[in-house]
Amino acid sequence: MMALLNREHSVVIRFNQARMSRRFSLLKLIRPVFILLSSLVLTVGHAHEFPQNSAQIILRDGQVEVRLLVDIDAWQSTLSDPSAWLTGETDLLLTQADLSSDALNDKLAEYLAGAIELKLEQEALVFMSESYQAYETGHEDEAEQGLVEFRLSAQHAFAHPKGLSVQFPASLASVLVSVVQPQYGLIKAGGEKVFALQ
């Protein structure tokens, strides 16, 4: 009787060992597939990362305004990195004195006025010297993120421009851009106005 129990017990042990062996070999097969899929998901998620910097270009009659919202901490980090300057990632190198200056944002606004290339109908526009300013954003969530808004404006002589191109300094990294062409109209009390959309 004992021999029979020992034999059954050893069969059960061998069966369990075989099951465990199959599980481990299945895990060995699944593990690389899981790692590959995880890395693809992380890569795709990183590839669609939302840019921190954004610009709104407002095209009005006779004037173009650029409102650029910048992650100031990241940008200052790039601008104060000597290796970024040496490799041509930026053509401005900020010193420690610049970084601690109260006029830093004004200096950056002046830099942007010369570094942003804005063309209307293939004609380069020049930002007016008194038009570039830096603003600490009034929005609490933006201020916490270290965002600063730069406003620049230029004049143009085109009645109905058809094309606009813009190039930002590489040191800003990616910039999400929207172009707006406002329409104006007076609506009298209780009245209605129809605006044509293009």
Q: Taking residues 66-92, what's their average pLDDT?
A: 90
Q: What is the pLDDT of residue 48?
A: 45
The rounded distance, in Å, linking the Cα atoms of 170 and 180 is 23
Q: How far apart are CA 85 and CA 148, in angstroms?
A: 22
Q: How many Cβ atoms from other residues are within 10 Å of residue 72's Cβ? A: 21
User: For residues 13 and 83, which has the higher predicted lDDT (pLDDT)?
Assistant: 83
pLDDT band at 70 (very low <50, low <70, confident <90, very high): very high
Instruction: Tally DSSP H helices, then E strands, for the chain.
Output: 6, 8
How confident is the prediction for the chain on average, in pLDDT? 78
Q: Work out the average pLDDT over 63-83.
A: 92
Residue type at 120?
A: L
The band of 44, judged by pLDDT with boundaries at 50, 70 and 90, is very low
pLDDT at residue 105, as a whole number? 85
Residue 81, φ and ψ in degrees, nearest 5 = -95, 110
Q: For 176-186, write each residue's pLDDT tens digit.
A: 999 998 888 89
Angstrom distances, CA of residue 5 to CA of 1, 11, 12, 16: 6, 10, 10, 16
Asked whether the whole model's pTM tops 0.85, one would answer no
Per-residue exposure over 84-108, b if at least 16 CB sit within 10 Å of its own CB, e if not: bbeeeebebebeeebeeeeebbeeb
Tokens read off for 192: 């209605």
